[in-house]
Amino acid sequence: MRALNQAWELGLSVDELAKLALSIDSDVPFCVYGHTAHVTGHGELVTPLPNFPHYWVIVAKPKVSVSTPAILKQINYATLQHAPTNQLVDKIKAQAWSETFQYMGNSLEGVTGEMYTEIKRIKDKMLQLGADVAQMSGTGPTVFAICHAESRAKRVYNSMKGFCDEVYQVVLL
């Protein structure tokens, strides 16, 4: 959306683009801003946070396909456990980066993980290999790991390539 705004010389602000993005999906406004943020409401309230320093991220996708609508139908909202978002946001604001990992979580991991056990195997393997944190992304099946040291990231990446077909390594800048 930002590229089209620029290419077509529309002159829309990022806030205007984010409002339009909400009509696509509730995750899209966050992507329009393109930085660390606390997103609330139905995706329309995007509060900027300090960006993380350099960390290495390994992303692994098992050979399964997950239907988001099917996962959402399985949720028992009365018992759904949420990550402690306020503590996570506080640690990010304080730039206490290594402390943020203990507050990260994905409420849907248990739901999807029951249906696709390879998600837990991938996550556990990443942690065994030295990742600082590992968790499922969205409704799955993709799992990511974050490493503070490049050497650990390389070890996780190289080992996961033998464990999973689709594995990628990137650095957060």
Taking only the tens place, the pLDDT of each residue in 82-134 is 889 999 999 999 999 989 999 999 999 999 999 999 999 999 999 999 999 99
Query: Which of these, 168, 119, 169, lies nearest to 140 by C-alpha position?
Result: 119
Taking the C-alpha atoms of residue 171 and residue 57, their distance in angstroms, rounded to an integer, is 6
Q: Which carries the bigger pLDDT value, residue 27 or residue 168?
A: 168
**97-108: pLDDT as tens digits:** 989 999 999 999
**71-84: pLDDT as tens digits:** 989 888 888 888 89
CATH of 51-172, one of 2.60.40.650, 3.40.630.40, 3.30.70.890, 3.20.20.140: 3.30.70.890
Residue 11 pLDDT exceeds 90: yes
Q: Sort strands 166-172 and 55-61 into parallel, antiparallel or unpaired.
A: antiparallel
Model pLDDT, residue 5: 93
Q: Where in the chain is the domain with CATH 3.30.70.890?
A: 51-172
**20-56: pLDDT as tens digits:** 999 998 889 999 988 899 999 888 899 999 988 889 9
Report, as an integer, the average pLDDT of 61-68.
Answer: 92
Model pLDDT, residue 34: 85
Output 96-104 pairs: Cβ under 8 A, ≥24 positions apart: 97/52, 97/53, 97/55, 97/148, 98/132, 98/148, 101/132, 101/133, 101/146, 104/133, 104/135
Model pLDDT, residue 26: 86
Say what the pTM is.
Answer: 0.86
Taking the C-alpha atoms of residue 164 and residue 148, their distance in angstroms, rounded to an integer, is 22
Residue 146 pLDDT exceeds 80: yes
Model pLDDT, residue 147: 96
Model pLDDT, residue 165: 86
